[in-house]
A and B are shown apart, each in its own frame.
Chain A
Amino acid sequence: MPTNEAQAKNRRVVIENVLHMHPGVREAALVDDGSGGFVAFVVPDDSYMDEALGRGTAGSTVLGKWQKTFDLSQLNKEAGAAPVGFNTIGWNSSYTRSAIPLGDMREWVENTVGDILQLRPRVVCEVGCGTGMLLMQVAPCCDRYVAVDFSPVVLDRLRAQLRTVPAIAERVEVLERKAGDLEGLDENSFDTVVVNSVVQFFPNVAYLTKVLESAISAVKPGGHVFIGDVRSLPLLQAFGTSVELFQAADELSVGELRDRIRRRVDREPELVLSPAYFLSLKHKFPKISRVDIRPLRGHADNEMTRFRYSAILHIDHDDSAHIDGEFLDWTERKWGLDEIRSMLKQHPNQRIGLKGIRNARLEEDLAAMAILDGADAADTAGKLRQRLEQGADEGIHPQALLDLEAESLGFKVFLSLAASRSDGSYDACLIPAKEQKGTTSPAINWPEPAASAFAHFANVPGQARMRSELTDQLMAHCNQHLPQDSVPRKIILVDMLERNA
């Protein structure tokens, strides 16, 4: 081997060895940067991230911060004047950073309440009840309602509002507790546990699983755990693109836009989950007989209806009469709403399953991602938006399909996001109404996610800071142990290293 090559190889080995000396490094590899230096790609050591950088103990800090956030939201002067059962203080749009329109919030509350009432709750525990937006409408239909929250200021607001509605208050018990401290709830004592728009504030998946374990234990056979308004991991990139493009000035370069999207996703402080996580719970908790994953209902176009879903855990149900059947591949024919309507009229006694329906709610966001992928870094956000205006609409709005139920066609419509596709496409099962008894959803064998969806359930909230700290440490470590011309020009953390054969 020529001397220069041998020297370069030795230099590379020395640098990699120095990197491996640091306890935060599980694997490291160097790549020439083309100007005599190296870029180091590093896979972080999980134990180090958990213990030395506090990822493992970050939970209590994260929960403390969210609790304070909710406390502060209720110290706003407007909070005291909010109508009973409709305190939307703190519900701000990620796009505009100002309040989500009241009409959208009203529809969100109505649809969520409708979904919960379909489960026929009588004895409910709501984890993360907040100021009672759901409680005020669900509790009147119940015999007992236990409302749990960790924010003392929020609970003070709730108690003040409950004092104005004694007929509701008399069946409500308010408990100040963290979601992870649900021990003490008697086993099989509720028919419904509601965890709505809460899990995104949990520090990690392990905490969520602990909460759900308590919830599942507390629900009696035939009951449900309703986990609503969950942020979708498969759609996190689409969400980041959507928000950053909305906020971008026309003259912003595509290169900078891509950086902003990457930073937004990296810095995500909330827990974002794949539907596959909830499906995997069936194997962990035998009490779960099946799991439904549903898109949010609603005509409003906002970040909740586009990028969130609900998960319903059916507890010890008799699902012997589950519905099998083929799902037609929607992508082959791309049936529109009118064609589907015709199918229902032509086959009034036949179940129809459709898989892979393009989600019209996400049409623009998916188109933006595709255009951004191929765009030149010097292009601008303005030009990207112009190209979006020329795009075609192929998908079907989920609510438009659900609205077919009201058209006297004689069908019930059920939708699912269980397949966890990154394009947000969904599946539908249209069942003759006379076949469908009761108001809860039938046990349908929905298309399942690809195996890869089970490998990555969730993001790591706030990981950007810990990763930034590790990168700083590694750079300081290299500066301490290597000659200046051998210090990597850049250190990039990755989840895994791909090796050439």
Chain B
Amino acid sequence: MKGKAEIHDFVQELLTRSGDDQPLTDQDSLLLSGRLQSIDAVEIVVFLEENFAIDFAQIGFDRDQIDSIDAIHALVQVASSGT
């Protein structure tokens, strides 16, 4: 599950930079809970575009898709399977 670990590390870094030192689980809400702001969502999007070749202009975008590490990983898996 290399992809998931990379995603976890990236999100953890975003939280740390924001001064959030609370524990992070794969299920924790990131945006809808307010732990990350909408402008942080852009960093996640760019990370996914650059590291996993996800094209949101093709697949559409919804905050729910990136609201947790599990959700982000599921999006990556779907995108990489081409479905």
Contacts and interface: CB of A to CB of B under 8 A. Distances in A.
Nearest to B57: A75
Nearest to A92: B38
Chain A facing B: main interface SS: helix
Interface stretch (A64-72, A205-213, A362-370): A64-72
Contacts of B37: 267, 269
Interface string A260-271: 000100110100
Given A68-B45, A68-B46, A267-B19, A75 B39 contact: no
A72 B19 contact: no
Chain A's interface size range is 20 to 34
Contacts of B38: 69, 92
Nearest to B56: A75
Contacts of A76: 60-62
Contacts of A65: 39, 42-43
Interface in B32-48: 32-34, 37-39, 41-43, 45-46
Contacts of B62: 76-77
Nearest to A269: B39
Contacts of A269: 37, 39
B34 A468 contact: no
Interface residues of B, number: 20
A383 B33 CA distance: 23
Contact of B34 (A153, A247, A464): A247
Interface string A68-85: 110011011100000000
B17 interface: yes
Contact of A267 (B18, B32, B45, B60): B18
Interface in B3-47: 17-19, 31-34, 37-39, 41-43, 45-46
B61 A72 contact: yes
A465 B56 contact: no
A97 B34 contact: yes
A66 B32 contact: no
B63 to A, nearest CB: 9
20 contacts: A65-B39, A65-B43, A68-B42, A68-B46, A69-B41, A72-B41, A72-B42, A72-B61, A75-B56, A75-B57, A76-B62, A77-B60, A97-B31, A97-B32, A263-B19, A266-B19, A267-B19, A464-B18, A464-B19, A465-B17
Given A72-B42, A73-B61, A247-B34, 18 more contacts: A65-B39, A66-B39, A68-B45, A68-B46, A69-B38, A69-B42, A72-B45, A72-B61, A75-B56, A75-B61, A76-B61, A92-B38, A97-B32, A266-B19, A267-B19, A464-B18, A464-B19, A468-B19
Interface of A: 65-66, 68-69, 72-73, 75-77, 92, 97, 153, 247, 263, 266-267, 269, 464-465, 468
